[in-house]
A and B are shown apart, each in its own frame.
Chain A
Amino acid sequence: MKRNAVVLLLVGLLAACVTINIYFPAAAAQEVADEIINEVWQIKEDEAAKKPEEKEPGSKDTESKGSAETDTAESK
């Protein structure tokens, strides 16, 4: 009985590991993309950190702030 439980645990953990390995690491990919793009385009780090703030006017983010607030909250 105990043995069965251990085997079950082992199989379960193994499956979990495999699942995690297969998952595409999107956040890491973004980081790597940033690093490479900064080098290729010779963007300085502090400049790059400043960039995302100055979003282009009329982008969805700024427009949907007021009216669609509940929508975005739900989708999260």
Chain B
Amino acid sequence: MKSFLMRSLMMLVLFSTHFVYAAPNLEINTPAINALKHSMQTRHNQLAPHYNSGAVGLTNNGMVAVRDAKAVPLKDRQGINGLVAAENADRSKLYKEIAVANSHPEWEAGIRDSFAGRWIDKAQSGWYFQSASGWTKK
């Protein structure tokens, strides 16, 4: 009986380390993720005026979309589509890279959802985001 208890105890101690390792803490310090962050940070200077004017809004799936092209000066209208496409490509890659960096590619959708909520929470007032009732001004 004693040895059984000892063995059970040992087993518990052994596995409790697993529990510690499994404690949620996501790895984001990889070259790919850092490069994406940097690229998005640089692009934000170009996107910010469009968030402010309402031309571009935050979608409910963690992306950005052209909301009102008329809010963009005619000469910039061509460029805005490319800007939005590039931003969305980076965002998709970012969600995927975080999932992959943590050895759980299937987490991509969950990560995307988490980001979607946080982008909107952190958006400046005056920016548009997609809510259940459509585009909403924050």
CB within 8 Å of B: which residues of A? 2, 5-6, 9-10, 13-14, 16-17, 20-21, 24-43, 48, 51-52, 56
From A10, A27, A40, give the contact of B44 (CB < 8 A): A40
CB within 8 Å of A: which residues of B? 3-4, 7-8, 11-12, 15, 18-19, 22, 24-26, 28, 33, 37, 40-41, 44, 94, 98, 104, 107, 110-111, 114-115, 117-119, 121-122, 125, 138
Contacts A/B (CB < 8 Å), 29 sampled: A2-B3, A6-B7, A13-B11, A13-B12, A17-B22, A24-B104, A25-B26, A26-B110, A29-B111, A29-B114, A30-B118, A31-B26, A32-B98, A32-B114, A33-B111, A33-B117, A33-B119, A34-B118, A34-B122, A36-B37, A39-B37, A40-B37, A40-B40, A40-B41, A40-B44, A43-B122, A48-B122, A51-B121, A56-B138
Q: Given contacts A21-B22, A40-B40, could you give 6 more A-B pairs where the C-beta distance is less than 8 Å?
A: A6-B7, A17-B18, A30-B114, A30-B117, A32-B114, A37-B119
From A26, A30, A32, A42, give the contact of B41 (CB < 8 A): A42
